[in-house]
Amino acid sequence: MRGSVKKRIGVLTGGGDCPGLNAAIRAVTKTAILDYGMEVTGIKDGYVGLVENKYSQLSYEDVSGILAEGGTFLGASNKANPFNYPSASNKSKDLSDLAIDNAKEMGLDGLVCIGGDGTLSVAYRLYKKGLKIVGIPKTIDNDLRATDFTIGFDSAVITATEAIDKLHTTAQSHHRVMVIEVMGRYAGWLALYSGVAGGGDIIIIPEIPYDIKKVCKRVVDRFKHGKRFSIVVVAEGARPKGGRMVVKKVVKDSTDPVRLGGIGNRIAMDVEKCTGLEARVTSLGHLQRGGSPSPFDRMLATRLGTFACGLAARGEFGKMAALKGRDIVAVGLKDAVTSIRRVDPKHPIIKSAISVGTSFAF
Protein backbone atom coordinates (compact mmCIF):
# COMPACT_ATOMS: atom_id res chain seq x y z
CA MET A 1 0.00 0.00 0.00
CA ARG A 2 1.12 3.57 -0.69
CA GLY A 3 0.06 5.09 2.62
CA SER A 4 -3.73 5.23 2.65
CA VAL A 5 -3.95 4.89 -1.14
CA LYS A 6 -5.37 1.55 -2.27
CA LYS A 7 -3.59 -0.55 -4.84
CA ARG A 8 -5.30 -0.59 -8.22
CA ILE A 9 -5.21 -3.19 -10.96
CA GLY A 10 -6.58 -3.01 -14.48
CA VAL A 11 -8.26 -5.76 -16.46
CA LEU A 12 -8.81 -6.05 -20.22
CA THR A 13 -10.07 -8.63 -22.70
CA GLY A 14 -8.36 -8.76 -26.09
CA GLY A 15 -8.65 -10.68 -29.34
CA GLY A 16 -11.78 -12.52 -30.40
CA ASP A 17 -14.59 -12.88 -27.88
CA CYS A 18 -15.69 -16.19 -26.41
CA PRO A 19 -17.91 -17.55 -23.65
CA GLY A 20 -16.34 -17.19 -20.20
CA LEU A 21 -14.75 -13.76 -20.51
CA ASN A 22 -17.29 -12.10 -18.25
CA ALA A 23 -16.80 -14.88 -15.72
CA ALA A 24 -13.05 -14.15 -15.70
CA ILE A 25 -13.57 -10.39 -15.32
CA ARG A 26 -15.95 -11.10 -12.45
CA ALA A 27 -13.42 -13.37 -10.74
CA VAL A 28 -10.58 -10.86 -11.01
CA THR A 29 -12.70 -7.94 -9.83
CA LYS A 30 -14.42 -9.63 -6.90
CA THR A 31 -11.19 -11.22 -5.67
CA ALA A 32 -9.34 -7.90 -5.89
CA ILE A 33 -12.04 -6.15 -3.84
CA LEU A 34 -12.86 -8.88 -1.31
CA ASP A 35 -9.49 -10.54 -0.71
CA TYR A 36 -7.00 -7.75 -1.30
CA GLY A 37 -8.89 -4.50 -0.78
CA MET A 38 -7.80 -3.26 -4.22
CA GLU A 39 -9.56 -1.03 -6.71
CA VAL A 40 -10.20 -2.30 -10.24
CA THR A 41 -10.13 -0.42 -13.54
CA GLY A 42 -11.84 -1.97 -16.55
CA ILE A 43 -9.98 -1.18 -19.79
CA LYS A 44 -12.46 -0.96 -22.67
CA ASP A 45 -12.11 -2.70 -26.03
CA GLY A 46 -8.83 -4.44 -25.28
CA TYR A 47 -5.67 -2.54 -26.09
CA VAL A 48 -7.76 0.20 -27.71
CA GLY A 49 -8.65 1.39 -24.22
CA LEU A 50 -5.03 1.32 -23.14
CA VAL A 51 -3.92 3.44 -26.11
CA GLU A 52 -6.92 5.79 -26.22
CA ASN A 53 -7.54 6.08 -22.46
CA LYS A 54 -10.94 4.39 -22.49
CA TYR A 55 -11.70 2.90 -19.11
CA SER A 56 -14.03 2.92 -16.12
CA GLN A 57 -13.79 1.92 -12.47
CA LEU A 58 -15.38 -1.42 -11.65
CA SER A 59 -17.32 -2.02 -8.46
CA TYR A 60 -18.51 -5.28 -6.92
CA GLU A 61 -21.99 -4.52 -8.23
CA ASP A 62 -20.72 -3.93 -11.78
CA VAL A 63 -19.63 -7.54 -12.08
CA SER A 64 -22.51 -9.17 -10.20
CA GLY A 65 -24.86 -11.23 -12.35
CA ILE A 66 -22.52 -11.62 -15.33
CA LEU A 67 -21.18 -15.13 -14.63
CA ALA A 68 -23.48 -16.79 -17.17
CA GLU A 69 -23.35 -14.04 -19.82
CA GLY A 70 -21.44 -14.67 -23.03
CA GLY A 71 -19.02 -12.22 -24.61
CA THR A 72 -17.30 -9.47 -22.64
CA PHE A 73 -19.02 -6.39 -21.30
CA LEU A 74 -15.69 -4.54 -21.43
CA GLY A 75 -15.46 -5.08 -25.19
CA ALA A 76 -12.57 -6.55 -27.16
CA SER A 77 -10.57 -5.97 -30.32
CA ASN A 78 -8.39 -8.27 -32.43
CA LYS A 79 -6.94 -5.37 -34.41
CA ALA A 80 -5.59 -3.14 -31.64
CA ASN A 81 -1.86 -3.85 -31.30
CA PRO A 82 -0.05 -1.00 -29.47
CA PHE A 83 3.14 -1.90 -31.34
CA ASN A 84 1.40 -1.67 -34.71
CA TYR A 85 -1.56 0.61 -34.06
CA PRO A 86 -3.77 1.68 -37.00
CA SER A 87 -4.08 5.41 -37.69
CA ALA A 88 -6.33 7.64 -39.81
CA SER A 89 -3.64 7.80 -42.49
CA ASN A 90 -3.69 4.01 -42.80
CA LYS A 91 -0.10 3.92 -41.59
CA SER A 92 0.44 1.90 -38.43
CA LYS A 93 2.41 3.41 -35.57
CA ASP A 94 4.21 2.07 -32.53
CA LEU A 95 2.18 3.50 -29.64
CA SER A 96 3.39 1.08 -27.00
CA ASP A 97 5.06 3.88 -25.00
CA LEU A 98 1.78 5.79 -24.99
CA ALA A 99 -0.05 2.68 -23.76
CA ILE A 100 2.42 2.30 -20.90
CA ASP A 101 2.19 6.01 -20.01
CA ASN A 102 -1.61 5.78 -19.98
CA ALA A 103 -1.47 2.79 -17.64
CA LYS A 104 0.68 4.88 -15.28
CA GLU A 105 -1.75 7.80 -15.48
CA MET A 106 -4.58 5.43 -14.58
CA GLY A 107 -2.60 4.64 -11.44
CA LEU A 108 -2.38 0.92 -12.22
CA ASP A 109 -0.17 -1.19 -9.99
CA GLY A 110 -0.68 -4.09 -12.37
CA LEU A 111 -2.69 -5.17 -15.40
CA VAL A 112 -4.49 -8.47 -15.98
CA CYS A 113 -4.73 -9.31 -19.69
CA ILE A 114 -7.27 -11.96 -20.69
CA GLY A 115 -6.59 -13.23 -24.17
CA GLY A 116 -5.20 -15.74 -26.61
CA ASP A 117 -1.89 -16.01 -28.44
CA GLY A 118 -2.10 -12.55 -30.06
CA THR A 119 -3.21 -10.67 -26.95
CA LEU A 120 -0.72 -12.38 -24.66
CA SER A 121 2.16 -11.99 -27.14
CA VAL A 122 1.53 -8.24 -27.03
CA ALA A 123 1.22 -8.46 -23.24
CA TYR A 124 4.63 -10.11 -23.02
CA ARG A 125 6.21 -7.37 -25.16
CA LEU A 126 4.64 -4.69 -22.98
CA TYR A 127 5.90 -6.52 -19.89
CA LYS A 128 9.44 -6.48 -21.27
CA LYS A 129 9.08 -2.70 -21.69
CA GLY A 130 8.17 -2.28 -18.06
CA LEU A 131 4.39 -2.72 -17.76
CA LYS A 132 3.44 -5.02 -14.86
CA ILE A 133 1.27 -7.72 -16.44
CA VAL A 134 -0.38 -11.02 -15.53
CA GLY A 135 -2.09 -13.15 -18.19
CA ILE A 136 -5.20 -15.33 -18.29
CA PRO A 137 -5.57 -17.76 -21.24
CA LYS A 138 -8.72 -17.68 -23.34
CA THR A 139 -9.36 -18.90 -26.85
CA ILE A 140 -11.81 -21.30 -28.46
CA ASP A 141 -8.82 -22.69 -30.39
CA ASN A 142 -7.21 -24.13 -27.21
CA ASP A 143 -3.83 -23.54 -28.85
CA LEU A 144 -2.02 -21.70 -26.05
CA ARG A 145 1.07 -23.48 -24.89
CA ALA A 146 1.65 -24.04 -21.15
CA THR A 147 -2.01 -24.66 -20.26
CA ASP A 148 -4.12 -27.78 -20.73
CA PHE A 149 -7.31 -25.87 -21.49
CA THR A 150 -8.26 -22.27 -22.26
CA ILE A 151 -11.41 -20.35 -21.40
CA GLY A 152 -13.99 -20.66 -24.19
CA PHE A 153 -12.83 -23.94 -25.68
CA ASP A 154 -15.31 -26.21 -23.89
CA SER A 155 -18.25 -23.95 -24.78
CA ALA A 156 -17.22 -23.91 -28.44
CA VAL A 157 -16.89 -27.70 -28.46
CA ILE A 158 -20.45 -27.99 -27.13
CA THR A 159 -21.77 -25.63 -29.84
CA ALA A 160 -19.97 -27.52 -32.60
CA THR A 161 -21.02 -30.92 -31.24
CA GLU A 162 -24.68 -29.88 -31.10
CA ALA A 163 -24.44 -28.71 -34.71
CA ILE A 164 -22.96 -32.05 -35.78
CA ASP A 165 -25.74 -33.88 -33.93
CA LYS A 166 -28.34 -31.89 -35.86
CA LEU A 167 -26.63 -32.44 -39.19
CA HIS A 168 -26.86 -36.19 -38.69
CA THR A 169 -30.63 -36.23 -39.11
CA THR A 170 -30.72 -34.17 -42.30
CA ALA A 171 -27.76 -36.10 -43.71
CA GLN A 172 -29.58 -39.39 -43.11
CA SER A 173 -32.83 -38.09 -44.58
CA HIS A 174 -31.30 -36.90 -47.86
CA HIS A 175 -28.42 -39.39 -48.11
CA ARG A 176 -25.88 -36.60 -48.33
CA VAL A 177 -22.30 -35.94 -47.38
CA MET A 178 -22.34 -33.18 -44.79
CA VAL A 179 -19.16 -31.16 -44.40
CA ILE A 180 -19.01 -29.00 -41.27
CA GLU A 181 -16.20 -26.45 -41.02
CA VAL A 182 -15.18 -25.33 -37.55
CA MET A 183 -12.71 -22.73 -36.31
CA GLY A 184 -9.35 -23.42 -34.66
CA ARG A 185 -6.85 -21.49 -36.79
CA TYR A 186 -3.69 -23.59 -37.12
CA ALA A 187 -4.63 -26.17 -34.47
CA GLY A 188 -7.16 -28.98 -34.73
CA TRP A 189 -8.36 -29.23 -31.13
CA LEU A 190 -11.87 -27.93 -31.80
CA ALA A 191 -12.42 -30.18 -34.81
CA LEU A 192 -10.95 -33.18 -32.98
CA TYR A 193 -13.02 -32.84 -29.80
CA SER A 194 -16.31 -31.95 -31.50
CA GLY A 195 -15.75 -34.46 -34.28
CA VAL A 196 -15.22 -37.33 -31.86
CA ALA A 197 -18.03 -36.21 -29.54
CA GLY A 198 -20.41 -35.75 -32.49
CA GLY A 199 -19.58 -39.06 -34.14
CA GLY A 200 -17.96 -37.58 -37.24
CA ASP A 201 -17.08 -40.21 -39.84
CA ILE A 202 -14.10 -38.25 -41.13
CA ILE A 203 -12.16 -35.64 -39.16
CA ILE A 204 -9.67 -33.42 -40.93
CA ILE A 205 -7.23 -31.32 -38.90
CA PRO A 206 -4.22 -29.10 -39.76
CA GLU A 207 -1.73 -31.42 -38.08
CA ILE A 208 -2.61 -34.32 -40.42
CA PRO A 209 -2.71 -33.18 -44.09
CA TYR A 210 -5.50 -35.06 -45.81
CA ASP A 211 -5.59 -37.20 -48.93
CA ILE A 212 -8.81 -36.42 -50.83
CA LYS A 213 -8.74 -39.92 -52.31
CA LYS A 214 -8.91 -41.34 -48.79
CA VAL A 215 -11.84 -39.02 -47.99
CA CYS A 216 -13.73 -40.18 -51.06
CA LYS A 217 -12.93 -43.85 -50.48
CA ARG A 218 -14.31 -43.62 -46.94
CA VAL A 219 -17.52 -41.99 -48.20
CA VAL A 220 -18.00 -44.58 -50.97
CA ASP A 221 -17.25 -47.51 -48.64
CA ARG A 222 -19.88 -46.29 -46.20
CA PHE A 223 -22.41 -45.96 -49.03
CA LYS A 224 -21.69 -49.51 -50.23
CA HIS A 225 -22.25 -50.86 -46.73
CA GLY A 226 -25.65 -49.20 -46.37
CA LYS A 227 -24.50 -45.99 -44.68
CA ARG A 228 -25.89 -43.61 -47.29
CA PHE A 229 -24.58 -40.48 -45.59
CA SER A 230 -21.30 -39.24 -44.12
CA ILE A 231 -20.30 -36.49 -41.71
CA VAL A 232 -16.99 -34.75 -42.42
CA VAL A 233 -15.70 -32.42 -39.69
CA VAL A 234 -12.94 -30.14 -40.95
CA ALA A 235 -10.82 -27.54 -39.16
CA GLU A 236 -10.49 -24.20 -40.96
CA GLY A 237 -6.69 -24.58 -41.02
CA ALA A 238 -6.71 -28.00 -42.70
CA ARG A 239 -4.83 -28.55 -45.93
CA PRO A 240 -4.37 -31.37 -48.44
CA LYS A 241 -1.09 -33.26 -48.70
CA GLY A 242 1.31 -31.07 -50.64
CA GLY A 243 -1.19 -28.20 -50.61
CA ARG A 244 -1.89 -25.03 -48.67
CA MET A 245 -4.49 -23.74 -46.26
CA VAL A 246 -7.40 -21.77 -47.72
CA VAL A 247 -7.09 -18.08 -46.82
CA LYS A 248 -10.33 -16.12 -46.84
CA LYS A 249 -8.73 -12.70 -46.48
CA VAL A 250 -5.85 -10.80 -44.88
CA VAL A 251 -6.45 -8.05 -42.30
CA LYS A 252 -3.20 -6.12 -42.20
CA ASP A 253 -3.77 -4.22 -38.94
CA SER A 254 -4.64 -7.31 -36.90
CA THR A 255 -2.46 -9.18 -34.40
CA ASP A 256 -3.30 -12.26 -36.51
CA PRO A 257 -3.77 -10.89 -40.06
CA VAL A 258 -4.58 -14.18 -41.81
CA ARG A 259 -8.29 -15.10 -41.82
CA LEU A 260 -8.83 -18.73 -42.73
CA GLY A 261 -12.02 -20.13 -44.20
CA GLY A 262 -13.32 -22.01 -47.23
CA ILE A 263 -11.66 -25.41 -46.90
CA GLY A 264 -15.08 -26.97 -46.29
CA ASN A 265 -16.33 -25.80 -49.69
CA ARG A 266 -13.25 -27.15 -51.42
CA ILE A 267 -13.60 -30.57 -49.82
CA ALA A 268 -17.33 -30.73 -50.65
CA MET A 269 -16.68 -29.91 -54.31
CA ASP A 270 -13.89 -32.50 -54.52
CA VAL A 271 -16.09 -35.16 -52.90
CA GLU A 272 -18.94 -34.52 -55.35
CA LYS A 273 -16.57 -34.75 -58.31
CA CYS A 274 -14.95 -38.01 -57.29
CA THR A 275 -17.99 -39.82 -55.82
CA GLY A 276 -20.99 -38.38 -57.63
CA LEU A 277 -22.72 -38.01 -54.25
CA GLU A 278 -24.35 -34.80 -53.15
CA ALA A 279 -22.37 -32.79 -50.57
CA ARG A 280 -23.43 -29.81 -48.48
CA VAL A 281 -21.35 -27.45 -46.36
CA THR A 282 -22.08 -25.82 -43.02
CA SER A 283 -19.59 -23.28 -41.68
CA LEU A 284 -20.31 -22.48 -38.04
CA GLY A 285 -18.25 -19.30 -37.99
CA HIS A 286 -18.91 -16.95 -35.10
CA LEU A 287 -21.68 -19.12 -33.67
CA GLN A 288 -18.81 -20.90 -31.93
CA ARG A 289 -17.89 -17.70 -30.10
CA GLY A 290 -21.39 -16.89 -28.88
CA GLY A 291 -23.74 -17.97 -26.18
CA SER A 292 -23.55 -18.67 -22.48
CA PRO A 293 -20.38 -20.32 -21.15
CA SER A 294 -20.51 -23.97 -20.18
CA PRO A 295 -20.25 -24.94 -16.51
CA PHE A 296 -16.65 -26.05 -17.13
CA ASP A 297 -15.73 -22.66 -18.62
CA ARG A 298 -17.41 -20.82 -15.74
CA MET A 299 -15.39 -22.88 -13.27
CA LEU A 300 -12.16 -22.51 -15.23
CA ALA A 301 -12.60 -18.74 -15.64
CA THR A 302 -13.30 -18.37 -11.93
CA ARG A 303 -10.24 -20.39 -10.91
CA LEU A 304 -7.91 -18.69 -13.38
CA GLY A 305 -9.27 -15.24 -12.50
CA THR A 306 -8.88 -15.58 -8.75
CA PHE A 307 -5.40 -17.07 -9.15
CA ALA A 308 -4.26 -14.34 -11.56
CA CYS A 309 -5.52 -11.65 -9.18
CA GLY A 310 -3.42 -13.22 -6.44
CA LEU A 311 -0.34 -13.09 -8.69
CA ALA A 312 -0.93 -9.38 -9.34
CA ALA A 313 -1.52 -8.65 -5.65
CA ARG A 314 1.77 -10.33 -4.71
CA GLY A 315 3.68 -8.58 -7.48
CA GLU A 316 4.37 -11.78 -9.42
CA PHE A 317 4.25 -10.26 -12.91
CA GLY A 318 5.29 -11.61 -16.29
CA LYS A 319 3.32 -14.77 -15.59
CA MET A 320 0.13 -16.44 -16.77
CA ALA A 321 -2.36 -18.47 -14.76
CA ALA A 322 -2.63 -21.94 -16.30
CA LEU A 323 -4.46 -25.23 -15.82
CA LYS A 324 -2.12 -28.19 -15.40
CA GLY A 325 -3.98 -31.39 -14.69
CA ARG A 326 -6.32 -30.44 -11.84
CA ASP A 327 -4.19 -27.57 -10.57
CA ILE A 328 -3.97 -23.88 -11.42
CA VAL A 329 -0.32 -22.86 -11.58
CA ALA A 330 1.80 -19.89 -12.66
CA VAL A 331 3.80 -20.17 -15.88
CA GLY A 332 5.96 -17.61 -17.66
CA LEU A 333 4.22 -15.44 -20.25
CA LYS A 334 7.14 -16.14 -22.54
CA ASP A 335 6.58 -19.89 -22.26
CA ALA A 336 2.90 -19.43 -23.12
CA VAL A 337 3.42 -17.50 -26.36
CA THR A 338 6.69 -18.86 -27.79
CA SER A 339 4.74 -21.19 -30.08
CA ILE A 340 1.20 -22.52 -30.40
CA ARG A 341 0.09 -25.87 -29.01
CA ARG A 342 -0.97 -28.21 -31.78
CA VAL A 343 -2.47 -31.69 -31.82
CA ASP A 344 0.04 -34.54 -31.72
CA PRO A 345 -0.93 -36.98 -34.53
CA LYS A 346 -0.32 -39.73 -31.96
CA HIS A 347 -2.66 -38.16 -29.39
CA PRO A 348 -4.69 -40.74 -27.41
CA ILE A 349 -7.96 -39.21 -28.60
CA ILE A 350 -6.94 -39.79 -32.23
CA LYS A 351 -6.05 -43.39 -31.43
CA SER A 352 -9.43 -43.92 -29.75
CA ALA A 353 -11.25 -42.33 -32.68
CA ILE A 354 -9.50 -44.60 -35.18
CA SER A 355 -10.39 -47.60 -33.02
CA VAL A 356 -14.11 -46.84 -33.40
CA GLY A 357 -13.85 -46.39 -37.16
CA THR A 358 -13.23 -42.67 -37.58
CA SER A 359 -11.01 -41.73 -40.52
CA PHE A 360 -8.44 -38.94 -40.53
CA ALA A 361 -7.87 -39.35 -44.29
CA PHE A 362 -4.08 -39.62 -44.16
Which residues are part of the catalytic machinery?
Answer: 141
Alpha carbons 293 and 296: distance in angstroms, whole number? 8
Alpha carbons 321 and 312: distance in angstroms, whole number? 11
Beta strands 319-324 and 327-332: pairing type?
A: antiparallel
Find residue 133's DSSP bridge partners.
111
Alpha carbons 97 and 83: distance in angstroms, whole number? 9
Find residue 309's DSSP bridge partners.
none
Helices and strands, counts by H and E, the chain = 11, 13
Are 289 and 15 in contact by the 8 Å Cβ rule? The answer is: no
Size of the chain, expressed as the number of residues it contains: 362
- Does the CA dihedral 41-124-334-288 come out positive or negative? positive
Of 337, 357, 335, 355, the C-alpha closest to 347 is 355
Residues with Cβ within 8 Å of 354's Cβ and at least 6 positions away in sequence, in order, are 360
CB burial of 292-316 (b: ≥16 within 10 Å; e: otherwise) equals: bbbebbbebbbbbbbbbbbbbbeee
Alpha helices (H) in the chain, listed in sequence order: 21-36, 47-52, 96-105, 117-128, 153-174, 189-197, 212-224, 263-275, 295-313, 333-337, 348-355
Find residue 352's DSSP bridge partners.
none
- Tally of CB atoms within 10 A around 348: 8
